[in-house]
Amino acid sequence: MSAMLSLALLSLLTAAPLEELFVKVDPSVVTVRVGTRTFTEGESGAVMAVSIVTGSGVLVHGDGFVVTAAHVVESADAVEVHWPGGFKASAKVVSLSRTEDIALLKVEALPPKPVVATLGDSAALKPGQRLFAIGAPYGLEHSLTAGVVSALRANERRGLMPRQLVQTDVPINQGNSGGPLFNEKGEVVGIASFMLSQSGGSVGLNFVVPSNTVRQRLFDEALPYIGVGLRFIPRDVAELFNWPVEAGFLVETVRPETAAAKAGLRGGGVLAEVGGNRVQLGGDLILSVNGVPAVETTRVALVLRALKPGELIRYEVLRGGRPGVVEIEVPAGLGVPALGKGAAKK
pLDDT, residue 136, reads 95
Say whether pLDDT at 344 is over 70: no
**Model pLDDT for residues 202-225, shown as the tens digit of each residue:** 777 899 999 999 999 999 888 888
Does 77 have pLDDT greater than 90? no
**What residues pair up with 29 in beta bridges, in sequence order?**
58
CB of 165 closer than 8 Å to CB of 60 = no
CB atoms within 10 A of CB 138: 11
Second-level CATH architecture of 228-329 = Roll (2.30)
- Residues catalogued as catalytic: 71, 101, 177
The reply to whether CATH 2.40.10.10 applies to domain 26-107 is yes
Q: Where are the domains of the chain?
A: 26-107, 118-219, 228-329
Q: How do residues 101-135 score in pLDDT, each as one tens digit?
A: 999 999 999 999 999 999 999 999 999 999 999 99
Same fold, 118-219 and 228-329: no
Which among 150, 209, 214, 165 is positioned nearest to 342, based on CA atoms? 214
Whole-number pLDDT of residue 199: 66
The answer to whether residues 130 and 183 touch, using CB atoms and an 8 Å cutoff, is yes
The larger pLDDT score, comparing residue 93 to residue 50, is at 93
pTM metric for this prediction: 0.82
Per-residue confidence (pLDDT) for residue 333, from 0 to 100: 67
User: Regarding predicted confidence, which is higher, 326 or 297?
Assistant: 326
H or E segment and range at residue 161: none
Structure confidence by residue, pLDDT tens digits, 237-289? 888 888 889 999 999 888 888 899 999 999 988 888 776 677 888 999 999 99
| CATH no. for 118-219 | 2.40.10.10
